[in-house]
Amino acid sequence: MSPSVVRKVGHALDMPLHWRLTRVEARWFIETYEQEQNMSPILLEFAKLDYNMVQSVHQKEVGNLARYKHGLEHTNFIMGTYDI
């Protein structure tokens, strides 16, 4: 058996797929595919671009949530001072 197949089988037996985080799993598959001898460079590049675009969206959403939460805490503090 090829080392690539052995690595994939070992990874699959380590933990069920539905228990894994999809973004971490996508990153693992991109790195694994990159090491294969018959990989398509264009397909690999598209996978990396897609991963980076989704990661960028997630980072923006987390930033927006953090600003929103900070705004709520500030508003609650101000509203609390008016209630006294």
Q: Which two tokens stand for residue 57?
A: 């969206």
CA angle 39, 40, 41 (to 5 degrees): 110
Q: Read off the pTM.
A: 0.69
pLDDT of residue 74: 63
What does the pLDDT profile of the chain (84 residues) look like in tens digits? 888 889 999 999 999 888 999 999 999 999 999 999 999 999 999 999 999 999 999 999 999 888 887 777 665 555 555 444
pLDDT recorded at residue 3: 87
Q: Give the pLDDT confidence score for residue 42 in this predicted structure.
A: 97
